[in-house]
Amino acid sequence: MGAASGTDEVGRYRRCVPELPPIDHRRRRVEIAESLAAGPLDALLVTDLTDVRWLTGFGGSHGWVVVRGDELVLGTDGRYDDRARAETAGSGATVIAEMRRERLDARLLESLAGASAVGLDAAGIDHAAWNGLSADLPLTPLTDNVLKNLRRRKDVAEVARIEAAARSADAALAEVEPMILAAGDAPVTEADVRNELEYRMRRYGADDRSYATIVASGPENAARPHHEVGARTIAPGDTVIVDVGALVDGYHSDMTRSYVVGSASTRQIEIYALVAESQAAGLAAVAPDVAARDVDAACRSVFDDAGLGDWFIHGTGHGVGLEIHEQPFLGATSEATLVDGDVVTVEPGLYRGGFGGFRIEDLVVVAGDGSRPVTHTPQRIPQSQNSNQ
């Protein structure tokens, strides 16, 4: 009986991260090669490690990639030799691994010998490194980064990883919510909640947390959108914001839920309702070919109409994938237009010192004529003691 029960528990945890479909890195190489063939560049040098991973599958802390015609070359520190070959096996990459930095630098120049125009994202490299490389290579700064543009559209394998990460976070929060809501009955700190969430996400199959989990409580901490978790004890009457995400095979999830501990005041109920209304308006606006700033405006107008526009002190959302914050960004000044395959957050919130705050955030895939949700934890609508009677 005990053994069967233990097996069931292990199975319950594993179901959050089932077997994941393989990522077709070879197709990505072809897409990049086709883009190069259509433009003025005859080679591309990739130094941003997130782009390196997206293109080849290699997730080490040091590496570069050269794309030239049909050739894909990954250069890395010699200590990554075996790992690099294993992780890039499906990409068709040629792996160069050298223990000596000067030898690896020489191999880079060999890979680009004879190139007349080498594209490089200037934002992904520091000024000194650019100057050093440009002394030996005909570098051209990328004005339209083809990798970043291609990375926006998540394929089926990428969405599967993001969904698995989201399931891990959903399952962990479902187990920890009772601790938050009962915080007035027993001493519970922000750090207690954070620690339980991060432990349980890993139990539910996540490789790691997606970012530093936020648990912000009370009239001051919950008024800070990026509060750093501390030892504050959560008390009855507190607003509590929990921003939690998991990481699975390099891909992130992102979700926020807000609570009131114990009986909610009339003002808390009103403010939460506004945030929920704002988020619903933003989610309804998400669709292919919609301007990102219009999604922000849909959320922001709810707060402006209520006279609380100055309580909303951050953008409405952002893209999520191999990075927790990536294109497109959903803000008032965004120039982006949503496309099919974007995975974005919609996360309006209201914050005010002395009151606290609320934020509701969900992750959605832009698809069809709208979007579909990735995060699934139900909202906990604050209740007054009278409304429960």
Cβ-based neighbours of 284, under 8 Å, separated by 6 or more: 298, 370
Q: Region 159-167: what's the mean pLDDT? A: 97
The answer to whether residue 321 sits within a structural domain is yes
Check whether residue 327 and residue 186 sit in a common domain: yes
Q: What is the pLDDT of residue 13?
A: 57
The answer to whether residue 346 sits within a structural domain is yes
Q: What is the CATH number of the domain that holds 195?
A: 3.90.230.10
Q: What is the pLDDT of residue 206?
A: 96
Q: Which of 125, 151, 177 is the last residue of a domain?
A: 151
pLDDT, tens digit, for every residue of 234-275? 999 999 999 999 999 999 999 999 999 999 999 999 999 999
Check whether residue 145 and residue 74 sit in a common domain: yes
* 274: its two tokens: 């506004």
- Rounded to 5°, the CA angle 369-317-260 comes to 110
Q: Which of 121, 151, 181 is the last residue of a domain?
A: 151
Peptide bond into 328 cis (omega under 30): yes
Query: Which segments of 204-332 does DSSP mark as H helices, in order?
Result: 218-221, 266-285, 292-305
Q: Region 87-116: what's the mean pLDDT? A: 95
Check whether residue 78 and residue 145 sit in a common domain: yes
User: What's the mean per-residue pLDDT of the chain?
Assistant: 93
Q: What is the pLDDT of residue 10?
A: 52
Q: Region 14-32: what's the mean pLDDT? A: 86
pLDDT, tens digit, for every residue of 190-208? 999 999 999 999 999 999 9
The answer to whether residue 5 sits within a structural domain is no
Q: What is the dihedral of CA 307, 312, 316, 322, to 10 degrees?
A: -170
Name the percent of the chain lying above pLDDT 90.
Answer: 83
DSSP one-letter string for 154-219: --HHHHHHHHHHHHHHHHHHHHHHHHHHTTTTS--BHHHHHHHHHHHHHHTT-SEESS--EEEEHH
Check whether residue 94 and residue 61 sit in a common domain: yes
The number of distinct structural domains making up the chain is: 2
* 111: its two tokens: 């890979």
**DSSP H or E stretch at residue 358:** strand 356-359
pLDDT, tens digit, for every residue of 221-242? 999 999 999 999 999 999 999 9
The answer to whether residue 4 sits within a structural domain is no
Check whether residue 289 and residue 363 sit in a common domain: yes
Dihedral sign of CA atoms 98, 101, 106, 112 in order: positive
The answer to whether residue 299 sits within a structural domain is yes
Q: Region 356-368: what's the mean pLDDT? A: 98
